[in-house]
Amino acid sequence: MYRYIWLVPLLPLIGAAINGLLGRRFSFSEKLIGGIAVGSVALSFLISIAAVYSYGFSNQSIWPNTYVTSQFKYNWIPGGAVRITQGSKERISAAAIQEAERQRAALPPEERSKPVSVLTSDSEAPRSSILNVEWSYQLDPLSSIFMLIVTGVGLCIFVFATGYMHGDSGFYRFFAYMGLFMFMMLVLVMGSNFLMMFVGWEGVGLCSYLLIGYYFDRQEAADASRKAFITNRIGDFGFALAVFAVIATFGTSQYTDVITQAKSYPIEIIGHWGIMSWIALGLFIGACGKSAQLPLHVWLPDAMAGPTPVSALIHAATMVTAGLYMVTRTNVIFQHSQTMMLVVALVGAATAIFAATIGITQNDIKKVLAYSTVSQLGFMFMACGVGAFVIGIFHVMTHAFFKALMFLGAGSVIHGLHHEQDLRRMGGLKKYMPYTYWTFLAGWLAICGIIPFSGFWSKDEILWSAASTNYVPVGWLVWLVGTIAATGTAFYMTRLVAMTFWGKEKFRETHEHTPGHESHTADHSTPKHHAHIPQESPKSMWIPLVALAVLATIGGFVGVGPAWKFITRTEHPGKRMNIVNFMDPIIWNPSTREFGKGGEGSKQEAVGSGQEAGGRAISSPEAASAEARSGGAENPAPYGKTGFNLAHAAAGKLGSETATEWLFIIISLLAAGIGIGLGWLFYVKDTRLPDLWAARLRPLYEASYNKYRVDEFYGWAITRRTMDAARAVFAFDSKVVDGAVNGSAWLTRLSSRISGGFDKYVVDGIVNTIAAFVIRLMSPLIRAAQTGLAPNYALVMVIGLVVAVAMFFASDIVKAVKAIFAIAF
């Protein structure tokens, strides 16, 4: 069945093409358009399930191996020769790497962080290769997970959108864009090479632009769409450079080839910027743009100007996680560069805390969710940065469930309140919108990290990975920031729920109707509009909510962590059904220099003793140093010592790894509890408190409310400077360049006038003078010859005749004259 995965992207594209090209001309009904769109996505989803099942779980499973479609592949970009200029020197054999690590181990401990260079005989001269880029789809654990998320969550959102967009004049257009988005997203996650990823990357950026600007008649939406597009361009620039670097280094863009080649490159520890670090930097800039990480996060909150299903699908569940997909896909490159791992972890942590603090003070329900999304994406990058790529992807999955659920719930609230998005005008909706309320509660508990809900499993694993990491130096800081951010998350999510569903019914208060955030013409005609009595959304909207609520509740059980092995009897229960076990084969292990735990890992596990049962494979002798094992770490240190390690220190105190894990679980639950409790205290128990504390912490409140003025700063530092530069360039153009052009024209005119005058007066004058002189001189002679009298002409003729005859008979005449003279004298 997995042979048919090429159908998965194709079906939404066909649906989008039918809707987009024919929907308007033949004025399809909403039922037909919705049916085509939902049907195509549903079919894709079914094929995805069947494909993933047959790939990973059936009898013919080829699970750890990568499957690349062959029956449908063709040479997309028939290549030319690529001269591999980059990285040839770094391409050192495994023996050389071992030699380098042996030298490093021999150094005194304080010098071990310095890079060691080994000259080897087999460093090759620049090679060349033929670059052939094929259009083929790849099925492996990572793309399986993403296929299921994209089509599954996408299906729920499509169904929701048929209800939400009811009555909109651009119904066909909306579903055409959404279908196109599905196609592009699936190309992104299923493509088998970097260029296909790039096509999908740009394609989802385009669809995001189109859908944010869906209400293109509103200035705010148009501005937001441009902002998103331009901000993404910055990231895409880095991504494109990284793709070029990949091609220049490895001579191919196919993941499988790149990954097998990259395996043998030397690891670049902190302070060493080799080719892998540069590639990873470019890729991470791309990921920052697409996944709204700290310097480039500004577009995502503004993107909420699009319709709510778009926010749920693109700006929460799928597109913004493309950065995570890319980082995980290229984890072998990232793990070669400890610097970039640290950068990823720190940027993720900074984004998490930064967005969480902004989320606390926002009043627009969708803005709160948007900052929450940014914050959660920060958590995911944090996980990747500390080496727990699988956990990052696990959080992508659970986040897709609960955040899509919350966005759709918010959409349902907005729909029920006739396009009211301000939290301060909600409240008490529990009574009016029961389905929305109960499903929203599931999402709320999940994102706060309460125990059986999905968010708990992934978020707790992230924090544990951060605390126990030995990939990067400052894991404890990352953990601390993450925990504070998680508390903040619980707080503002409780605030959101309290202000929306609990408390006083503030929607009854009269207020001037601001021309809406999302204006649907059809709904405005209903008489109930101005009464603002909320109503439960139709079936097509709450059924997807229920489906997502179920997933948000139980979806986390595929990733039950090692701390629970006293119940589950095994580190990751469920064998392949566990996401960690399932995904592990694509994660490179810098200690063993192989993918996954490796075959010997399980052997080791059998002989492993008590506490360290399930310790990862330790094949390289240098990694087996005592310090790497100290504190009972799960991983041996792949980059040498990384400084203070919180989990190891705690384990040293407690004397047990399991106890340490439990300690961290309790801490993370406590953080969530504190957040929820504070939220309850502020927004349910005593509603005077928020204003009080806002007044007390005025500067902080202002900073958070104004989003730390990042937009203003960018506007001042970048937009304004760009405009200044543009004006300067324009001035240069209009003054200097145009001046030069006009000046040359003026000069030409001047010189032509001079040369014209010279010609007219000097040259012509000379000619006229000479000619007139000659003619004046000669004309009397010539004129005298012209008498006009015929006899004169006749005389000339006769004279001519005589002369002619005389010349003809010249010799005879001379003879005759001589003869006469002879006779006479």
Binding site for another protein (CB under 8 A): 786-791, 793-795, 798
Q: Which residue has the tokens 């979806």?
A: 555
Minimum CB separation of residue 748 from another protein in Å reads: 49
Question: Which residue type does 647 have?
Answer: A
Distance, in Å, from the CA atom of 204 to the CA atom of 188, rounded to the nearest integer, reads 8
Minimum CB separation of residue 741 from another protein in Å reads: 59
Distance in angstroms between the alpha carbons of the first and the last residue of the chain: 142
Task: State the alpha helices, DSSP H only, in 517-558.
Answer: 521-524, 539-554
Which residues are within 8 A (CB) of 132 and not within 5 positions of it... i.e. 6 or more apart?
75, 77, 78, 79
When computed from its CA atoms, the radius of gyration of the chain, rounded to whole angstroms, is 40
In the complex with another protein, the residue whose CB is nearer, 125 or 789, is 789
Minimum CB separation of residue 789 from another protein in Å reads: 5
Distance, in Å, from the CA atom of 213 to the CA atom of 99, rounded to the nearest integer, reads 57
Minimum CB separation of residue 757 from another protein in Å reads: 40
In the complex with another protein, the residue whose CB is nearer, 789 or 822, is 789
Minimum CB separation of residue 790 from another protein in Å reads: 6
In the complex with another protein, the residue whose CB is nearer, 31 or 783, is 783
Contact 558, 552 (CB under 8 A): no
Task: State the alpha helices, DSSP H only, in 449-503.
Answer: 454-467, 475-501
- Cross-strand pairs, 135: 74
Instruction: Give the HSE-up count for residue 86: Cα atoms under 13 Å, Cβ half-sphere.
Output: 19
Contact 309, 408 (CB under 8 A): yes
In the complex with another protein, the residue whose CB is nearer, 786 or 811, is 786
What is the CA angle 661-463-454, rounded to 5? 90
Minimum CB separation of residue 809 from another protein in Å reads: 13
Residue 763 is classified by DSSP as: I
In the complex with another protein, the residue whose CB is nearer, 784 or 807, is 784
In the complex with another protein, the residue whose CB is nearer, 602 or 787, is 787
In the complex with another protein, the residue whose CB is nearer, 681 or 803, is 803
Minimum CB separation of residue 771 from another protein in Å reads: 23
Contact 382, 352 (CB under 8 A): yes
In the complex with another protein, the residue whose CB is nearer, 728 or 797, is 797
In the complex with another protein, the residue whose CB is nearer, 762 or 798, is 798
DSSP 671-684: HHHHHHHHHHIIII
Distance, in Å, from the CA atom of 545 to the CA atom of 539, rounded to the nearest integer, reads 10
- Cross-strand pairs, 139: 67
Minimum CB separation of residue 776 from another protein in Å reads: 20
In the complex with another protein, the residue whose CB is nearer, 697 or 795, is 795
In the complex with another protein, the residue whose CB is nearer, 728 or 798, is 798
Distance, C-alpha 823 to centroid of its chain:
130
Helices H / strands E in the chain, number of each = 35, 8
Instruction: Give the HSE-up count for residue 580: Cα atoms under 13 Å, Cβ half-sphere.
Output: 19
Element (H, E) at 354: helix 338-359
Minimum CB separation of residue 774 from another protein in Å reads: 22
Distance, in Å, from the CA atom of 632 to the CA atom of 647, rounded to the nearest integer, reads 9
Instruction: Give the HSE-up count for residue 680: Cα atoms under 13 Å, Cβ half-sphere.
Output: 6
DSSP 620-680: SGGGG-HHHHTT--SS--BTB--S--HHHHHHHHHS-HHHHHHHHHHHHHHHHHHHHHHHH
Minimum CB separation of residue 793 from another protein in Å reads: 7
What is the CA angle 354-357-361, rounded to 5? 140
In the complex with another protein, the residue whose CB is nearer, 606 or 789, is 789
Element (H, E) at 74: strand 74-77
Distance set, CA 699 to CA 6, 448, 693, 706, 708 (Å): 54, 27, 11, 10, 10
In the complex with another protein, the residue whose CB is nearer, 746 or 808, is 808
In the complex with another protein, the residue whose CB is nearer, 95 or 804, is 804
Minimum CB separation of residue 801 from another protein in Å reads: 9
Contact 456, 557 (CB under 8 A): no
Contact 623, 637 (CB under 8 A): yes
Instruction: Give the HSE-up count for residue 566: Cα atoms under 13 Å, Cβ half-sphere.
Output: 7
Which of 581, 629, 587 is closest to 608 using CA atoms? 629
Contact 487, 459 (CB under 8 A): no
Minimum CB separation of residue 797 from another protein in Å reads: 9
Minimum CB separation of residue 796 from another protein in Å reads: 10
Which residues are within 8 A (CB) of 316 and not within 5 positions of it... i.e. 6 or more apart?
369, 373, 399, 400, 403, 404, 407
Contact 284, 116 (CB under 8 A): no
Minimum CB separation of residue 762 from another protein in Å reads: 37
In the complex with another protein, the residue whose CB is nearer, 94 or 796, is 796
To 10 degrees, the CA torsion angle through 762, 768, 772, 773?
30
Minimum CB separation of residue 787 from another protein in Å reads: 6
Contact 159, 543 (CB under 8 A): yes
Minimum CB separation of residue 784 from another protein in Å reads: 11
Contact 25, 17 (CB under 8 A): no
In the complex with another protein, the residue whose CB is nearer, 692 or 805, is 805
Distance, in Å, from the CA atom of 556 to the CA atom of 578, rounded to the nearest integer, reads 10
In the complex with another protein, the residue whose CB is nearer, 434 or 800, is 800
In the complex with another protein, the residue whose CB is nearer, 531 or 794, is 794
Contact 84, 262 (CB under 8 A): no
Minimum CB separation of residue 775 from another protein in Å reads: 18
Minimum CB separation of residue 816 from another protein in Å reads: 15
Question: Which residue type does 173 have?
Answer: R
